[in-house]
Structure 1
Amino acid sequence: MSAPIRFALSDMDGTLLRPDHQLAGPVIEAVQRLQAAGVRFSLASSRPPRAMLEQARLLGISAPIAGFNGGRLVYPDGRLLEAYPLAPTAARAALTFLARHTVDIWVFADEQWLLKDFSAAHVPTERHALGFDGTLVVDFDPYLDRVDKIVATTDDHALLARLEAELQPRLVDQAHAARSQPYYLDITSIEADKGKALTRLARHLDVPLSQTAALGDSHNDMAMFAVAGLAIAMGQASAEVRAAADVVTVSNAEDGVAFAIERYLLSSDAL
């Protein structure tokens, strides 16, 4: 690291939050110390922005945040900064492809979580993480012109990894297909990835990318690792994700973001 970090962007689930999706006191305190030291801090998540605002408030974040993997950039009060919805042709192609496989499919549009089955696996997990309930629909077609994200979910992690590899070439330059968790495959606009989100937020804050840090644990965090001045992986991340980072902190269950802030961002002799 040749220049001091001036802006840090963190993933939420699996990174900033503990496994129960809660913010821990040590993490809140570390983020507040970091911001008091003059380093801007923000959030990038596959979550919709409305499911990030309370955490942003608790952390005292003043910078814009990135929801839907960068598909929506909003100010901490929820006002829209930039939006990159999924192209309707890509949305239809993804839904058609996923319908051929044994996965549950969700669509996020109109600030709603749309689903066809409340009994599907991971609905309770998502409800707890988002802080709001889904809306039951019989057809996703009426929403195809304004989709922010499509999610395929299953407990067959190997199937989801295979679907990611098969779906991305079909979407070509229209959309991204990337796992945000072993059991979630997210499809978002080609303009919605965390690397582009970090680049746009850094530009908005007038911070060069060489003075940014990215913290994450999942496959979809590797895009921001590729452009950040310092990439920090969580201790429980897969070998592939850890290999893509510059340094590895402890797990999110051990408040790895707090450890990384103290060790790599606030310490004068960190690296």
Structure 2
Amino acid sequence: MTTPPAQPACKLLVIDIDGTLLTPGGEITEGTRAAIAEARAAGVTVTLATARRYGNTASIARELALTAPLILYDGALIVEHPGGRILYSNPLPAQVAQQGIALFLAEGLQPVIQPLGDPLHEEVWTGPTELDTSWQQIYFTVHAAELRRLPRERLLDLDRPVLRLVALEAPERLRLLLPALAALDCSWLLLERGNYESGELSLLRAGCSKATAVAALAGRLGIPLSQVMAIGDNENDIGMLSLVGLGIAMGQANAAVKQAARAITTSNSEDGVAYAIERYLLRPARTADSNSRSRSTCL
């Protein structure tokens, strides 16, 4: 009689995209592809958790042959993949979104509004061109097909919920808004350098994060958080890494991210995701004895 192969203790693997899954050049290495494919073959559900929208996340999910719900907009949305059906949403309350937009406008900042809508036909809303600065140029170029310009008065009277409100500017200018944000009933995150070569200030519903979305998805899948492994590199990954059974920080992550994690892998220029999957998920499964196969946590 043959002994069945050991199964990984972790049943759900959640991977951040930028700075984690992707190399500094924006690519997925062959080693990472192979490790993810092996994890899926072993019965692990693999998903992505990102600040990105569905459109530019679904293309990466297709590249990796993933068929699990995707966590988007820093945890404000979970979308079935590849079907595109919304499974979970956590938008800003309308009054808070309006207050945030009014604050941005009062400070002369161009708001970048990511509304709740059909994930297969996403839009990005923003104000008139006179509010544009060079800081938004890359973002608006990348998302030109989805961009919709609204006059100032319409910005304060939106007809759809807002998943995420963003300002792309010099970080020193964004830091000046933090005292005013403390008066708003929302969560916020300031990145000194986001994905578009600028400072990035994002507003979400109070308590909304990748961590809350991971908990919602794990509950939907019937997987205990102790059997979830997550990999990330930035401040918006901290809650997720500290919540799950095994949170793994990328080698280039800052001290706060590493402190929140239970393990540290190599950087995203050194196949950090592939190494983490091999070291903490696949290798223990291959070498586990009957006792270790029955573990309930990702250790």
TM-score w.r.t. length of structure 1: 0.86
- Cα distance per residue 1:120-147 (max 9 Å; x no partner): 314325754x695522333322426411
CA root-mean-square deviation: 2.5
Counterparts of 1:1-271 in structure 2, within 5 Å, are 4-77=9-82, 78-101=84-107, 103-109=109-115, 110=117, 111-116=122-127, 117=129, 120-125=134-139, 127-128=141-142, 132-139=145-152, 140-143=155-158, 145-156=160-171, 158-161=172-175, 163=177, 165-166=178-179, 168-172=181-185, 175-179=186-190, 182=193, 183-190=199-206, 192-268=208-284
Amino acid at match of 1:92: Q
- The CA deviation at 1:180 is 5.6
Please say if residues 46 and 66 of structure 2, whose CA atoms lie closer than 8 Å, have aligned partners that are also in contact: yes
Structure 1 unaligned spans of 5+: none
Distance 1:71 1:243, change over 3 A: same
Distance 2:86 2:137 in 1: 27
Distance 1:224 1:167, change over 3 A: farther
Structure 2 unaligned spans of 5+: 1-7, 194-198, 288-297
Distance 2:30 2:114 in 1: 31
Higher Rg: 2
Q: SS of the residue aligned with 1:8?
A: strand
Name the count of aligned residue pairs: 264
Amino acid at match of 1:55: I
Q: SS of the residue aligned with 1:48?
A: coil
Please say if residues 13 and 45 of structure 2, whose CA atoms lie closer than 8 Å, have aligned partners that are also in contact: yes
Distance 1:106 1:131, change over 3 A: closer
Please say if residues 10 and 214 of structure 1, whose CA atoms lie closer than 8 Å, have aligned partners that are also in contact: yes
Distance 1:100 1:220 in 2: 26
Q: SS of the residue aligned with 2:135?
A: coil
Distance 1:38 1:149 in 2: 33
Distance 1:155 1:21, change over 3 A: farther
Please say if residues 214 and 224 of structure 1, whose CA atoms lie closer than 8 Å, have aligned partners that are also in contact: yes
The alignment-based identity, stated in percent, is 30
Q: SS of the residue aligned with 1:267?
A: helix
Distance 1:266 1:206, change over 3 A: same
Distance 1:153 1:264, change over 3 A: same
Please say if residues 74 and 210 of structure 2, whose CA atoms lie closer than 8 Å, have aligned partners that are also in contact: yes
- The CA deviation at 1:101 is 3.7
